[in-house]
């Protein structure tokens, strides 16, 4: 238990709000596919109709952030241009087109004559989303929640307060035209609520944090509610001795620089000693040309890596154009390094040797184990899920990039004709356990 911070108890106002969402969710969870699809289109229409209001609200947030001297990267995330808003609206409509995640029959089985077991997907319940200043997240997560029949409690960064209020008002306007209750979505604007909602374990069934590693880690450590997300993304690529060096450099470069701030970008390159000199001779100028700072162990420095890396580096997610380099004796040492320093996100091997690839992929206990391709493919859209709710680095499912699947659970539906267990214990009736 690493909790050091006393999370406040939810006050009556927050509990009432949560109960309102829960009640609306329960009303909705009987809504069919078409009703949910329609609701999402109404939401998109309402966002479009409220474009001016939303952009004005955002403008006021941006101005206030600028006057407070907030960092330019944060302001660029906060700013909602007309194009960005339209992209968001387009994203909402796309979520409406995703296959219905509810009612999928996972098990269909006769337990005994007339006693039928079905396991079907159902909504999870009420989902709490805590996000930093990303107005696009409001649109995306709201449409995903409605598509999957869940209730939603949103808590955004205070810098985006006006924008978030304008967005949520528009979304609720849209829901008013639909058969989904507008109370299904609730925006919390009070800073203390984002803390105390971590204690709403009876009313919130899942928390999704969208923001920095620190935010995610804080939430994971301070709630009993399941959290979908990950803190660190310390991804590796191991370059084996049996490789096509050009391919290895291409993939390593892409894994680092295609978007260095992403969680699926690599932080450490592990290189087999037999290939290290040749690889680095060719790779160092190419990384340099892309402004990547290389930090290496002693041996790699002797091959031209300029800066030195220490134990801290192996556990650092740079989120920047920095890459640590380590030379390993053999495949097993690369695996051991990843087992010790990795964050169970995504790790890859570059090799022509399929046996080595298989061993690496079996023994590296990460959500994604990749062979001869960029770690940047670890993404719900690139995996073809049509949406990404988050990337999870826990051992238990859902793991890795999570699409709409992460917003549903299942229930067992058992239908009989008066069957009792005593008849089976006494041998009067028998189980057939026949798949239907």
* Binding residues for a second copy restricted to 4-63, rule: CB under 8 A: 7, 26, 29-30
The footprint of a second copy on residues 191-210 (CB under 8 A) is 199, 205-206
CB of 329 to a second copy, least distance (A): 18
The Cα–Cα gap between 106 and 120 comes to 6
The footprint of a second copy on residues 370-389 (CB under 8 A) is 370-374, 376-378, 382-384
Q: Could you tell me which of 19, 76, 49 has the C-alpha nearest to residue 166?
A: 49
Identity of the residue, 307 or 412, whose beta carbon is nearer to a second copy in the bound complex: 412
What would the two tokens of residue 146 be?
């409605």
Is the distance from CB of 227 to CB of 207 less than 8 angstroms?
yes
Q: Which residues of 164-201 are buried (b: 16+ CB within 10 A; e: fewer)?
A: bbbbbbbbbbbbeebebbbbbbbbbeeeebbbbbbbbe
Identity of the residue, 64 or 419, whose beta carbon is nearer to a second copy in the bound complex: 419
Identity of the residue, 125 or 229, whose beta carbon is nearer to a second copy in the bound complex: 125
Is 218 near a second copy (CB under 8 A)?
no
Side-chain half-sphere exposure of 184, counting CA atoms within 13 A: 34
**What does each C-alpha distance from 206 to 42, 106, 232, 306, 327 come to in angstroms?**
26, 22, 20, 45, 41
The footprint of a second copy on residues 267-306 (CB under 8 A) is none
Identity of the residue, 250 or 293, whose beta carbon is nearer to a second copy in the bound complex: 250
The footprint of a second copy on residues 52-111 (CB under 8 A) is 109, 111
Q: Could you tell me which of 144, 29, 212 has the C-alpha nearest to residue 380?
A: 144
Q: In residues, how long is the chain?
A: 436
Kindly tell me which residue out of 87, 414, 430, 436 binds a second copy, with binding defined by CB under 8 A.
Answer: 414
Identity of the residue, 69 or 384, whose beta carbon is nearer to a second copy in the bound complex: 384
Identity of the residue, 299 or 373, whose beta carbon is nearer to a second copy in the bound complex: 373
The footprint of a second copy on residues 338-357 (CB under 8 A) is 339, 357
The Cα–Cα gap between 173 and 137 comes to 18
The footprint of a second copy on residues 124-143 (CB under 8 A) is 124-125
Is 3 near a second copy (CB under 8 A)?
yes
The footprint of a second copy on residues 387-406 (CB under 8 A) is 394-397, 399-401
Is 436 near a second copy (CB under 8 A)?
no
Distance of CA 71 to the CA centre of its chain: 25
């Amino acid at each position: 238990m690493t909790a050091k911070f006393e999370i406040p108890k939810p006050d009556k106002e927050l509990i009432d709000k949560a109960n309102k969402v829960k009640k609306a969710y329960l009303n909705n969870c009987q809504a069919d596919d078409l009703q949910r699809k329609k609701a999402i289109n109404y939401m998109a229409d309402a966002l479009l109709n409220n474009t001016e209001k939303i952009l004005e609200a955002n403008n006021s947030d941006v101005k206030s952030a600028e006057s407070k001297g907030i960092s330019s990267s944060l302001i660029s995330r906060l700013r909602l241009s007309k194009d960005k808003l339209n992209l968001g609206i387009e994203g909402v409509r796309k979520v409406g087109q995703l296959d219905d995640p509810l009612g999928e029959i996972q098990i269909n089985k006769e337990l005994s004559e007339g006693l039928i077991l079905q396991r079907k997907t159902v909504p999870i319940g009420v989902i709490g989303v805590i996000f930093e200043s990303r107005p696009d997240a409001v649109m995306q997560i709201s449409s995903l929640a409605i598509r999957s029949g869940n209730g939603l409690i949103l808590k955004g960064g205070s810098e985006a307060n006006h924008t978030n209020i304008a967005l949520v008002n528009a979304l609720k306007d849209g829901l008013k035209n639909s058969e989904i209750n507008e109370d299904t979505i609730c925006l919390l604007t009070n800073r203390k609520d984002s803390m105390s909602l971590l204690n709403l374990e009876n009313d919130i069934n899942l928390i999704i944090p969208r923001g920095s590693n620190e935010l995610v880690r804080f939430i994971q450590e301070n709630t009993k509610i399941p959290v979908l997300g990950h803190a660190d993304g310390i991804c590796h690529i191991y370059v084996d001795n049996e490789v096509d060096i050009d391919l290895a450099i291409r993939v390593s470069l892409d894994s680092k620089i295609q978007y260095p701030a992403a969680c699926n970008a690599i932080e450490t390159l592990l290189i087999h000693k037999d290939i290290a000199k040749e690889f680095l001779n060719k790779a160092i100028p190419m990384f340099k040309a892309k402004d990547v700072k290389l930090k290496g162990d002693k041996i790699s420095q002797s091959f031209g890596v300029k800066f030195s890396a220490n134990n801290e580096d192996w556990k650092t997610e740079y989120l920047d154009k920095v890459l640590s380099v380590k030379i390993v004796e053999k495949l097993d040492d690369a695996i051991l390094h990843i087992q010790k320093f990795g964050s169970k996100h995504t790790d890859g091997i570059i090799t022509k040797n399929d046996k080595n690839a298989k061993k690496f992929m079996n023994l590296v206990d990460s959500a994604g184990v990749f062979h001869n391709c960029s770690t940047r493919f670890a993404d719900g859209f690139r995996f073809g899920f049509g949406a990404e709710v988050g990337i999870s680095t826990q051992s238990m499912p859902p793991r890795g990039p999570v699409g709409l699947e992460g917003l549903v659970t299942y229930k067992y539906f058992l239908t009989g004709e008066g069957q009792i267990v005593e008849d089976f214990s006494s041998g009067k009736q028998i189980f057939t356990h026949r798949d239907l």
